[in-house]
Amino acid sequence: MASLITCPHCGKRPTEEFSIRGDASIRRPDANASEKVWFDYVFIRDNPMGRHLEYWQHASGCRRWLIVERDTVTHAVHSVRDAADVISGEKA
């Protein structure tokens, strides 16, 4: 059976309907940050083990951007939130 993600808008859906887009815990530096800070932001990424926040898009559904807390070892999904809600005031 396929893994499932519970979209806050569409309910439980197979992961094949979603596109993963990367680390949701990284914060964009200030515009006047040093070159090193910008280099690290653009090119340097960790490969975490365990629970991790990721951006996913429900590409074959509501097309909303979501923040999914997923275990990178077991692939278990622990939480799913609409990214717009997180950006507008909640903390990721």
pLDDT tens-digit readout, 34-66: 999 999 999 998 888 999 999 999 999 999 999
How much is the average pLDDT of 3-25?
A: 94
Homologous superfamily of the 4-87 domain (CATH): Folate-binding superfamily (3.30.2270.10)
The arithmetic mean of pLDDT across residues 29-35, rounded, is: 96
If phi > 0 it is left, if psi is from -120 to 50 it is alpha, else beta; for residue 72 that is: alpha
Which residue ranges make up each domain of the chain? Answer: 4-87
Rounded to 5 degrees, φ, ψ at 79 are -160, 155
- Listed residue (24, 29, 27) closest to 51, CA to CA: 24
**What are the φ and ψ backbone dihedral angles of 25, each rounded to 5 degrees?**
-95, -10
- The mean pLDDT value for 12-30 works out to 93
